[in-house]
Structure 1
Amino acid sequence: MKALAGQAGLCLLLATLAVWFGLLQDFSTMQAPALPRLMAAGVLLLAWMIFTAFATRHRASAGDVRDAGGILIVHASQTGFATELAVRTAGVVHAGGPRAEVRGMDALTTDRLERATRVLFVVSTTGEGDAPDMASLFRERAMRAPLALHGLSYGILALGDRDYDDFCAFGRDLDQWLHASGATPLFDRVEVDNGDEGSLRHWQHHVAHVSGTTAMADWSRPAYRRWRLAERRLLNPGSVGGQCYHVALVPEDESDLAWEAGDIAEIGPRRARGDESVVPQREYSIASLPADGALHLVVRQMHAEDGTPGVGSGWLTAHAAVGDPIDVRVRRNEGFHAPADDRPLLLIGNGTGIAGLRALLKARLAKGHLRNWVVYGERHARADRLHVDDLERWYEAGGIERLDLVWSREARGARYVQDRLRIAADALRRFVGEGGGVYVCGSLAGMAPGVDRALRDILGDAAVSDLGASGRYRRDVY
């Protein structure tokens, strides 16, 4: 039907042009156009206008134009859990304002996907890495080859069970296919092991950010442990950016000093001291190791439109006093753990992303793994030294092989970390060629996609995809 409509429109357009071309010839030869030709031209022009209006309206009603602001939520479930989570996801999206459309993958067409601008996938894996039954046809027909999805942004919640070898295989395959099709991730894929509540809260956190809301209650309240605020220190006095604080927390039970570099601290904030109302948890990269005797965070104080401090950052940097209890749950984040071997490691970050890089470096140095290259960026060299003293000290001691500090407000050319990577392209190729891995921590807006684009320009798309598939390219971005 669509093909016939297109052919009819083309014929009508050609007929209209032919008649009007004849009129132009009459005028060019100074002849008065015949009345029948004038009438025919008018009728054809009117018909073309009516056809165009109808076709445009039909495309809009059928959804043939790209979505405007809405978010499509696609689920593929074998037992119903992914469907349930898709409905919950739609609730978060709706609370933020965008229009949410939920459909199963068995009802997803390539045409609908090509019209979408933002899609959130909630997909499970069944059997030995298979797609759920409701997704098998889409996988067979649509995922055999890449599509043209360059205008699409997406997020994936992949459900699985680590007891199986092909953990989250379908979610990973879907992610690779979307990337090969030119789509852009809104955030890194979230993998859930056997319904892990921490991973689900992480997904909810991302969806809320994409939807423009932070007011949603957590789907499940974390099993917080009781810690205390032991230290709070301003790291960037005089900065033109938001104030950043070093925050140290100590547990009431020393057995809670257990995590790995790369793990995440979930904080249960309060709106004010003594306020016990439930507030959605906030996530922060951990900047220390258990051997430090405290959990260190780097927290930038955020502000609402009316100037009041943000809920999470306000609690940690302004409302809570030193000595006050803090609700904490440490969430394991295997996707950003340091490699067990001594391979070269390129660590890239900006702003508060120094937290994740600092913990990884501490872990590497503790094992004597010294082939570390750090590229870190902030605004001003004097005011924005967020633990840069540590980096310089480790560099002087030989724990960091190469240190590139990038100050965006002082540089004339290479203002950002991705610019510095392009300048060091040859060294980057050698570093990766020697088996090096790439870890990125910091801003999802600007820095992370900029770094990814630079890596792909330098190494090639296939090489970067291979790095990701082999676990040598990892990100903790927010």
Structure 2
Amino acid sequence: MITAPRLHALCHWPLPTCLLLAGLLFWLQPARELSAGLISATYLALCLHYCWPQRRIPSGQTGELLIAYASQGGQAQALAERSCAQLRDSGMPARCIALNQLGDAQLASLERLLLVVSTYGDGEAPDNAARFERSLLEQASLPQLHFAILALGDSSYPQFCAFGQRLQLRLQALKAQPLFDLLCVDNLDAGTLRHWQQQLGHLSGNSDFVDWQPAHYRPWQLEQRLCLNPGNIGAPIFQLRLSSQEDVTWRAGDIVEVGPRHAPQRINACLQQLGLDPQQHLPDGQLLRDALSQRHLPTTRPDQQSMAQWLAELTPLPHREYSIASCRSSGNLDLLVRLQHQADGSPGLGSGWLCQHAEIGRQIDLRIRRNPGFQGPDATTPLILIGSGSGLAGLRAHLQERAANPHSRNWLLFGERQAAHDALLIDELRAWQHSGHLERLDLTYSRDGHPQRYVQDALCDAASTLHAWLADGAALYLCGSLDGMGRDVDTCLRQLLGDEQVDQLSQSGRYRRDLY
């Protein structure tokens, strides 16, 4: 019998093959029943050849990802090669070339491109990228291209990362779409390079990598964990409160890097499978299970080598990044973390540790990374804050910080799914609205209306207010998911303001984004 799956497979045969099969059937003249069945199947294949739904892989997702570097002294090339290796280790085909090797025709056909570029001399392109910059000026449009740039420089020079910034502006002018925002690295700053690694992890869909330069964590204590959206139809979001015995400072907009740990059950299962005792004491007094909690778990036991050597060969777990959700003067460091799940249904490494496995009172390994690109303007500058989901974290920190100045003007546009379950920190937001600290508050819940309404819809509806605030010198700060909200809000802004004004706002520092 010809079943649906077999018929579906038959429909993918080339058309000449189907016709040849039909001719052979008539020439061979098999038994009447078999012949009729095969001829019917062939006829159906011919009829359905062009109308059966074809399973297509999204364009640009299966091909090789190109990483092009502009390097005068070798640093950009070395980082490009490291980036290439991380992507390959994650199962993504990648290739590394000098920027001048990228021709006009190839650029016009590329769908994704990563650029790792240095600035040479007085803001010039390195020698192996000068031809490319000249040819880029002759390109008419690159709407198919999605790109990201890691720019290397030294902030003590006036033309800090000038070449990378010129590339960013020119590619956007050609309608190319950023995969994520430009990253400028000051003197090979380790934190920015770790952030680039995180972005590579998002691209490859594999965040299990080895940090090029591990974070030097400090111990913080988990004081409180509260689910902010119980009963919601999506993943839960938790508010976590941490404290430190040290005097640590940060600004609204800064990032924390967390050193995650495996769930105890997973470590015990791994060691038991290897025939090792999780409660075994190491020479330094540490339990074996605790020593493994911050490392990639082993697949073999230490037969012919010492335990110390065996442990040293296990690479540390990669860090995880989260926006800080409180200002320093609040006395605590808050995070808003959405519990993520991996393909097999298990909790994400970082969010699982923070939202499920870490006990209250437990030590959390944490490092604060300065993020000047999202730190706030002075209190006299009106501020428009836009975000969704756990992106409220970075916006809340700015509102807390600006609360010290009672005359600051603030407007928050925030979106989630259902008001009944996802009204995150609603009492605090309403209190700020009532006091006037929030001059305007627009809340949207996509699953509560028909048609569905998102934060970008609220922004478009408030176009006249947006123009008025910008005319008063307001800055726009956007925090949350890049896919979906981040891109949609940017599209809305370009429709309302035009590409030129949005690019001018970005270049002047009045349009800033913290997207992930």
Tell me how far 1:147 sits from its aligned partner: 3.3
How far residue 413 of structure 1 moved from its aligned partner, in angstroms, is 3.9
Give, in whole Å, the separation in 1 of the partners of 2:508 and 2:386.
19
Q: Does the C-alpha gap of structure 1 residues 365 and 415 become closer, same or farther in structure 2, counting only changes over 3 Å?
A: same
Describe the superposition over 1:415-456 as per-residue Cα deviations: whole angstroms up to 9, x where unpaired.
Answer: 111111111111111111221111000011100010000000
Hey, what's the Cα distance between the residues in 1 that align with 2:369 and 2:430? 30
Map of 2:363 onto structure 1: 325
Match in the other structure for 1:95: 89
Q: Specify every segment of 5 or more residues in structure 2 that has no aligned partner in the other structure, as ranges.
A: 1-58, 265-289, 296-315
- Please show how residues 42-57 of structure 1 align to structure 2 within 5 Å: none
Q: Deviations over 1:10-56 (max 9, x none)?
A: xxxxxxxxxxxxxxxxxxxxxxxxxxxxxxxxxxxxxxxxxxxxxxx
Asked if structure 1 preserves the Cα contact closer than 8 Å seen for 2:220 and 2:366, the reply is yes
C-alpha spacing 1:304/1:401, structure 2 compared with 1 (3 Å): same
1:330-349 aligned at under 5 Å gives the runs: 330-349=368-387
- Partner Cα separation in structure 2 for residue 438 and residue 138 of structure 1: 33
Q: Is the 8 A contact 1:228 1:323 kept in 2?
A: yes
Does structure 2 conserve the Cα–Cα contact (< 8 Å) formed by 1:146 and 1:178? no
Correspondence list, 1:125-140, <5 A: 125-140=119-134
* Letter paired with 1:89: S
Paired residues of 1:146 and 1:177 also in contact (CA < 8 A): no
Conserved 8 A contact 1:298-1:355: yes
Q: CA 1:261/1:307 → structure 2, altered by over 3 Å: closer, same or farther?
A: same
Are 2:229 and 1:236 equivalent residues in the alignment?
A: yes
The code of the aligned residue for 1:260 comes to R
Counterpart of 1:78 in 2: which secondary structure?
Answer: coil
Q: State the match for 1:169 in structure 2.
A: 162
2:251 to 256, 260, 268: 260
Whole-angstrom CA distance in 2 between matches of 1:78 and 1:174: 17
**1:468 and 2:501 correspond:** no
Post-superposition offset of 1:306: 2.1
RMSD: 1.4
Give unmatched runs, 5+ long, in structure 1: 1-64
- Helix, strand or coil at the partner of 1:149: coil
- Once the two structures are TM-superposed, the CA of residue 69 in structure 1 deviates from its matched residue by 2.8
- Structure 2 distance, partners of 1:66, 1:411, is 35
Q: Tell me the residue number matched to 2:208.
A: 215
Aligned length: 411
- Specify the code of the residue in structure 2 equivalent to 1:152: L
| C-alpha distance 315-369 of structure 1, shift in aligned 2 (>3 A) | farther
Distance 1:146 1:173 in 2: 15
Report % sequence identity. Answer: 46
Compute the TM-score of the two structures, normalised by the length of structure 1.
0.84
**Alignment partner, residue 176 of structure 2:** 183
Measured at CA, do residues 465 and 394 of structure 1 come closer, stay the same or move farther in structure 2, by a change above 3 Å? same
Matched, 1:424 2:462: yes
Preserved contact between residue 67 and residue 115 of structure 1 (Cα < 8 Å): no
- Give the conservation status (yes or no) of the 8 Å contact 1:226–1:251: yes
The answer to whether residue 137 in structure 2 is matched with residue 144 in structure 1 is: yes
Distance in 2 between the 1:146 and 1:396 partners? 52
Cα 1:67–1:337 change in 2 (3 A) is closer
After superposition, the Cα gap between the structure-2 partners of 1:168 and 1:368, relative to the gap in structure 1 and judged at 3 Å, is farther
CA deviation after TM superposition for structure 1 residue 389, in Å: 2.1
Indicate the SS of the match to 1:339: coil
| 2:124 partner amino acid | D
Q: Which amino acid aligns with 2:76?
A: A
Whether the 8 Å contact between 2:260 and 2:294 is mirrored in structure 1 is: no
Q: CA deviation at 1:370?
A: 2.6
Q: Which amino acid in 1 is paired with 2:262? A: R
Residue 206, structure 1, aligned to residue 199, structure 2: yes
The match for 2:352 is: 314
The 8 Å contact of residues 255 and 322 in structure 2, kept in 1 or not, is answered as yes
Match for residue 491 of structure 2 among 453, 458, 476? 453
- CA deviation after TM superposition for structure 1 residue 68, in Å: 4.7
| Per-residue deviation, 1:238 | 0.8
Which residue pairs with 1:117 in the alignment?
111
Deviation at 1:146, TM superposition (A): 4.5
Contact 2:220–2:363 (CA<8 Å) still a contact in 1?
yes
1:319-359: CA deviation from partner (whole Å, max 9, x where unpaired): 11011111111000000011024111110000000000000
Q: Which residue of the other structure, out of 423, 442, 447, is the alignment partner of 1:404? A: 442
Counterparts of 1:318-397 in structure 2 under 5 Å?
A: 318-397=356-435
Using the TM superposition, give the Cα deviation of residue 367 of structure 1 relative to its aligned residue in structure 2, in angstroms: 2.6
Q: Which moved more, 1:185-194 or 1:406-415?
A: 406-415
